[in-house]
């Protein structure tokens, strides 16, 4: 009764061992079949690659042959066949044969295919049978007949041509019709050697394991070249060379050794799998370490960002492409008085917008969503806190770009500029007070200016008054006889007196305008400016200038450029500037060493680009000039080189010109003297 148990145990062990061996056998068979499949697939892949390369080389060779034949056809058509002489044609044809070795003969025939002339390649001697070439069944005749019928070049079929040394080669004819006035006047016949076509057009692209040949459609080889090194397996590719009137088949054979993959596949596979397994484990370990390090860095970056955002006083707000608020920082919430849950997700109308400006802000937001970004320097706006108070803000916006470089929204930074506005207002008020104080401090200087400027009109008034008295005394009538009723002084004397009185009144009025201009300056009033022509300014000062010029013996020349627009200025002050400059110029020429005393006053357009649209006044003298030490302090107030001067004239002149936005300067005059120049704005038409 105890025997069945050992039998069942042995059977079970045998079945377990058979199952294990079956699994291992199946695994081995699977691996072997996989390796065999890999070897077979590798061989097929390598063969397909070799075949593909061979077919590509064959197609390229056919393309090169077709291109060369087309180039030769163009060269044949360019031969001077229309000349009456044959020498030029033979020279050109010989040159063509030397350059194109695949052509062995070129003939020029008339319309009846009779030979006119021909040239032959110097590289290949061929014994041509003229009777065979001129027969009606020759390939040349057939090709020219097809060319005449088609009206275009035609090729013949290949034929065998014996050489003089007992050998021969396959030839092919090309017949090109020559036409004039719609009729055929002759033919150009070019004879190709198929072997030379392979040598000159295909050989440079062949490898040592390739062979190229022209074949008939049935496989008969016409010309062969190459195959210096052969292998154990041959690959063949054919390509049709279709020519007008004839067809050739280019065949290319390539020899390649059989793939030697089987002896090394198993070792290479196990080694590659082992290396791949170790590499994957190393990569996983490194990737895990990098991931942990990246998580720690990300946590630190988030903590740093949170601390930075909490410490900022600048409000930050992020919006998506739909305009919904996706993020606000604590500074922004504190600025507007709303909590993040009250702001996140809002897109249409923000609660911190003033109600009366909601439509304006919505239009500005629509422009922003259309892609028109504001300037990066920012723009000002007005917000409303939760308690209703308004405050100004400076907004700076920039596109929000994610890690993939995509535009996902806009990031805005807000600065509360309420304190800045308050400081600016205080600064403006302080500046106004400082300006008022400065103007009060200039009252003394204005008094000095006033006394300086009034000297000239008052001196003129005095001169005209004294002159009037002298005229009255000279024309007084003596008293021996009683005067007749109604007698008056001479008419000329009365006219002079009237003119002098008018000048006295004009100069008195001018002195009043000077006082008013200085008064307006002290009171900070806007000076009245009017459009005045340059000629009017010169006419106003000429009487006073002429008066002093006669005393000093100075000739005065004035000129105004034609078509000069009026200038916008304070007429009284500008006249005073012109008068001061003219007076200084005449005093500079009051020297015994100055023989030519000419004062030149001109008005013209400013030539420099900086003063385009301005009027330039030029006062030129021929005096002693300005020394360098005096030139450095010329416009300094109270600096003068004359004992009777106050040193305020030029300083006042520069102040007046600069108030008009112009420039006053001086330069030496050649050969002697000084040129003073100042600019005034011209009125726009």
Residue 371 pLDDT greater than 50, yes or no:
yes
Over residues 579-603, the mean pLDDT reads: 87
Tell me the three state secondary structure of residue 254. strand
Residue 448 pLDDT greater than 70, yes or no:
no
The dihedral built from the CA positions of residue 171, 177, 178 and 184, taken in this order, carries a sign that is positive
Residue 673 pLDDT greater than 70, yes or no:
yes
What is the rounded CA–CA span in Å between residue 231 and residue 229?
Answer: 7
Tell me the three state secondary structure of residue 119. strand
What is the rounded CA–CA span in Å between residue 537 and residue 569?
Answer: 10
Top-ranked range on mean pLDDT: pick from 135-139, 349-353, 372-376, 475-479 = 349-353
Inter-CA distances, 111 with 177, 285, 659, Å? 9, 88, 99
Confidence class for position 558, pLDDT limits 50, 70, 90: very high
The CATH number given to 312-422 is: 3.30.450.20
The dihedral built from the CA positions of residue 640, 642, 644 and 649, taken in this order, carries a sign that is negative
What CATH class has 530-681?
alpha beta
∠ CA 627-646-575, rounded to 5°: 90
Residue 614 pLDDT greater than 50, yes or no:
yes
What is the rounded CA–CA span in Å between residue 188 and residue 193?
Answer: 17
Over residues 552-556, the mean pLDDT reads: 88
What pLDDT score was predicted for residue 310?
76
Of 14-18, 519-523, 620-624, the least confident: 519-523
Confidence class for position 373, pLDDT limits 50, 70, 90: low
Closest Cα to residue 657, out of 570, 593, 579?
A: 570
What percent of the chain lies above the pLDDT cut of 90?
A: 6
What pLDDT score was predicted for residue 602?
92
The CATH number given to 67-254 is: 3.30.450.20
Say whether 312-422 and 67-254 share the same fold. yes
Residue 327 pLDDT greater than 50, yes or no:
yes
Residue 256 pLDDT greater than 70, yes or no:
yes
What percent of the chain lies above the pLDDT cut of 70?
A: 75
Residue 257 pLDDT greater than 50, yes or no:
yes
Tell me the three state secondary structure of residue 219. coil
Inter-CA distances, 151 with 145, 180, 189, 244, Å? 10, 12, 15, 11
Question: Where is pLDDT greater, at 172 or 436?
Answer: 172
What is the rounded CA–CA span in Å between residue 369 and residue 92?
Answer: 74
Question: Where is pLDDT greater, at 16 or 669?
Answer: 669
Residue 324 pLDDT greater than 70, yes or no:
yes
Over residues 133-159, the mean pLDDT reads: 85
pLDDT in tens, 23-53: 657 755 765 676 667 667 666 777 788 888 8
Question: Where is pLDDT greater, at 589 or 229?
Answer: 589
**Which residue is listed with tokens 């596109």?**
399
What is the rounded CA–CA span in Å between residue 540 and residue 518?
Answer: 20
**For the CA atoms of the chain, what is the radius of gyration?**
56
What is the rounded CA–CA span in Å between residue 672 and residue 661?
Answer: 30
Residue 263 pLDDT greater than 50, yes or no:
no
Question: Where is pLDDT greater, at 577 or 348?
Answer: 577
What pLDDT score was predicted for residue 243?
87
What pLDDT score was predicted for residue 600?
92
The whole-chain average pLDDT of the chain stands at 78
pLDDT in tens, 167-210: 788 888 899 998 887 788 888 999 998 888 888 888 888 877 78
pLDDT in tens, 45-93: 777 888 888 889 888 888 988 899 889 888 888 887 666 667 888 888 8
Question: Where is pLDDT greater, at 479 or 173?
Answer: 173
Instruction: Kindly state the tokens that stand for 658.
Output: 């600069």
What pLDDT score was predicted for residue 428?
79
What pLDDT score was predicted for residue 1?
39
Confidence class for position 487, pLDDT limits 50, 70, 90: very low
Q: Characterize 535-548 residue by residue with b for buried, 16 or more Cβ atoms within 10 angstroms of its Cβ, and e for exposed.
A: eebbebbbebbeeb
Asked whether 71 and 190 are in contact (CB, 8 A), the reply is no
Residue 640 pLDDT greater than 90, yes or no:
no
What pLDDT score was predicted for residue 2?
40
Q: Where are the domains of the chain?
A: 67-254, 312-422, 444-474+491-522, 530-681
Over residues 496-505, the mean pLDDT reads: 72
Residues 6+ apart with CB under 8 A from 319: 325, 326, 347, 400, 409, 410, 412
What pLDDT score was predicted for residue 484?
43
Residue 265 pLDDT greater than 70, yes or no:
no
Over residues 2-18, the mean pLDDT reads: 57
What pLDDT score was predicted for residue 618?
94
pLDDT in tens, 106-129: 888 888 888 888 888 888 777 777
Inter-CA distances, 644 with 455, 585, 628, 641, Å? 12, 16, 22, 9
């Amino acid at each position: 009764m105890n025997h069945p148990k050992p039998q069942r145990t042995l059977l079970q062990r045998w079945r377990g061992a058979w199952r294990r061996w079956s699994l291992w056998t199946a695994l081995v068979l699977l691996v072997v079949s996989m390796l065999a499949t890999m070897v077979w697939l590798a061989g097929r892949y390598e063969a397909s690659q070799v075949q593909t390369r061979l077919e590509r080389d064959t197609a390229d060779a056919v393309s090169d042959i077709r291109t060369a034949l087309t180039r030769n056809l163009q060269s044949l058509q360019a031969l001077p066949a229309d000349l009456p002489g044959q020498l030029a044609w033979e020279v050109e044809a010989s040159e063509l044969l030397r350059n194109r070795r695949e052509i062995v003969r070129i003939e020029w025939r008339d319309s009846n295919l009779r030979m006119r002339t021909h040239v032959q390649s110097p590289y290949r001697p061929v014994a041509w049978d003229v009777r065979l070439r001129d027969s009606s069944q020759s390939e040349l005749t057939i090709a020219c007949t097809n060319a005449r019928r088609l009206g275009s070049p035609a090729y013949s079929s290949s034929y065998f041509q014996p050489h003089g040394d007992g050998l021969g080669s396959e030839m092919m004819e090309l017949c090109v019709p020559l036409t004039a006035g719609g009729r055929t006047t002759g033919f150009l016949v070019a004879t190709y050697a198929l072997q030379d076509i392979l040598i000159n057009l295909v050989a440079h692209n062949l490898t040592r394991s390739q062979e190229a040949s022209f074949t008939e459609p049935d496989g008969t080889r016409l010309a062969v070249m190459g195959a210096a090194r052969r292998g154990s397996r041959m690959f063949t590719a054919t390509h049709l060379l279709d020519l007008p009137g004839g067809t050739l088949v280019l065949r290319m054979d390539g020899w390649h050794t059989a793939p030697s993959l089987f002896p090394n596949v198993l070792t290479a596979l196990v080694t590659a799998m082992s290396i791949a397994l170790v590499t994957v484990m190393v990569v996983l370990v490194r990737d895990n370490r990098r991931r942990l390090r990246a998580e720690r860095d990300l946590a630190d970056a988030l903590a740093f960002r949170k601390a930075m955002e909490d410490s900022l006083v600048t409000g930050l707000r992020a919006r998506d492409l739909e305009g919904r608020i996706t993020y606000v920082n604590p500074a922004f919430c504190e600025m507007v008085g709303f909590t993040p849950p009250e702001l996140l997700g809002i897109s249409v109308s923000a609660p911190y917008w003033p109600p009366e400006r909601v439509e304006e802000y919505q239009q500005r937001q629509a422009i922003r969503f259309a892609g028109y970004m504001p300037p990066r320097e920012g723009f000002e706006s007005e917000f409303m806190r939760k308690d209703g108070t308004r405050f100004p803000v400076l907004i700076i916006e920039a596109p929000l770009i994610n890690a993939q470089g995509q535009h996902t929204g806009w990031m805005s930074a807000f600065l509360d500029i309420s304190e800045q506005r308050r400081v600016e207002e205080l600064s403006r008020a302080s500046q106004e007070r400082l300006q008022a104080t400065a103007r009060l401090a200039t009252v003394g200087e204005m008094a000095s200016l006033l006394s300086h400027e009034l000297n000239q009109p008052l001196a003129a008034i005095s001169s005209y008054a004294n002159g009037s008295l002298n005229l009255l005394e000279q024309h007084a009538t003596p008293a021996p006889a009683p005067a007749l009723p109604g007698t008056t002084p001479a008419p000329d004397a009365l006219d002079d007196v009237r003119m002098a009185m008018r000048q006295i009144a004009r100069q008195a009025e001018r002195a009043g305008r000077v006082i008013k201009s200085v008064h307006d300056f002290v009171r900070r009033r806007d000076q009245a400016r009017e459009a005045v022509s340059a000629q009017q300014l010169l006419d106003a000062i000429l009487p006073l200038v002429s008066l002093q010029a006669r005393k000093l013996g100075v000739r005065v020349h004035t000129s105004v450029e034609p078509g000069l627009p009026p200038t916008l200025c304070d007429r009284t002050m500008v006249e005073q500037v012109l008068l001061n400059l003219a007076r200084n110029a005449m005093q500079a020429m009051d020297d015994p060493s100055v023989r030519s005393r000419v004062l030149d006053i001109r008005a013209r357009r400013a030539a420099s680009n900086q003063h385009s649209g301005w009027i330039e006044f030029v006062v030129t003298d021929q005096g002693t000039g300005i020394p360098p030490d005096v030139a450095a302090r010329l416009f300094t107030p109270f600096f003068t080189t004359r004992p009777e001067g106050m040193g305020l004239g030029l300083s006042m002149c520069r102040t007046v010109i600069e108030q008009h936005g112009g420039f006053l300067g001086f330069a030496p005059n050649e050969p002697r003297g000084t040129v003073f120049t100042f600019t005034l704005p011209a009125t726009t038409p």
